[in-house]
Amino acid sequence: MSTTRRSPLLSPPRGPVPRPTNWDDEDDDELPGSPLGKSWLRYVPLTLALTLMLAPHPSLLIVLVNYHLRVLHSPSRFLTHLLVTYTLTFCAVSSLIVILARDPGPVPSPKRSEAPDSESSSMDFAQALLDTEDDEPLIRTQGKWCRKCVAPKPERSHHCSSCGRCVLKMDHHCYWLGDKCIGHRNYSAFVHFLTCVSLLSIYIACLCVQAVYFAFTNPLAIDENTPLHDIYLAFYGIIMTLVIGSFWTYHLYLTTTNQTTIENISPYLLLRHLPPLPPQTSTRQKLSDPPLEHELTYPQRRLVRDAHYQLKIYDVGWKRNWAQVMGWSRPRGWMYRLWLGGGGKGDGRTFPHNPRAEPLLTRLAAELVSIDKNQ
């Protein structure tokens, strides 16, 4: 009997398995899971946020009645302040309802044929192993693929482990607003909510600081309880302005430059947009194509971080950025968005790119390879 061993039909590859270029690494996209799970506890931060937004109104009514009506005898100022404060409150609550009710951006599942192909179903096991043709070009045509959703991953979408799904143009996951993601379809409502709350805080702070000054300069003209409400509202408005206002300013910057929070705080996402790297002649070359973050040396990391601050992939001018993010197409379409906010412009899957980005990305790819060769 012959003892010659035959080589197996399939043998595992030697060395590290190369990472497919269309397989998306989730390590820099995925946000940590929600510690609250999906129970009623996730609504506790939302309840607290609503309480913080509505708590000043009883004291505000006391200040408006006692100060503007009984002391200043000015019904016009009373009505004006009442109209402004409750209009901003109504707009904030309206945009909050939009955030909670609207899906942030569903990523469609891949379309597959309902009936299997008779020719492919008759293929036996050996032919299936030896077949190298890809009859399903879905992954290759979409460019990216989420290994957790097992579905195509459109441009600028990210996987959220708290929601267990991919979100179109994901900005961040917000535990304060119903434990929901902020994405393509509700980001403009989120900016509208921050705008209304910040303007309301600024307005109340200015109104009550003036009332506090009047109470200290005219102590006998007003009762002793109203200044306490004035001081409380003044500090409350200042603190909310510093907290929410700084967050609002940051998102105004993101809207003006057409970035998301994930894109702004993750400079190495820039590596995904690099063109094919120049020819690599060095035997010590270890960069993938496109490069991965853990492969970069310290000089290469500094180079990518510096390029991140100068290069905005989706920045097409501040006017077009605002029109795209806030979702208006007409010249005066922003006036309609002032009331309730709304959804972003487009389908959330493709976005126009900065025309100046391509040569800068080509230069960045060449410099990354050049640094690696010189080490």
**204-239 burial code (b ≥16 CB/10 A, e <16):** bbebbbebbebbeeeeeebeeebbebbbbbbebbbe
List the structure tokens of 82. 């009442």
Q: Let me know if 174 is a catalytic residue.
A: yes
Query: What is the CA 209 to chain-centroid distance, rounded?
Result: 35
Helix (H) or strand (E) holding 303: helix 298-310
Query: Between β-strands 145-146 and 172-174, what pairing exists: parallel, antiparallel or unpaired?
Result: unpaired
Contact 166, 319 (CB under 8 A): no
Contact 334, 320 (CB under 8 A): no
d(CA 17, CA 14): 8
Residue 142: CB atoms within 10 A of its CB come to: 17
Helix (H) or strand (E) holding 60: helix 57-63
Hey, which residues does 167 pair with through a beta bridge? 106, 158
User: Residue 325: which residues within 8 A CB-CB, separation 6 or more?
Assistant: 187, 188, 191, 255, 258, 344, 345
What is the Cα gyration radius of the chain? Answer: 28
d(CA 139, CA 157): 15
Contact 107, 152 (CB under 8 A): yes
Burial of 192 (0-12, 13-18, 19+ CB in 10 A): buried
* Marked catalytic residue, from 91, 174, 181, 196: 174
Catalytic residues: 174
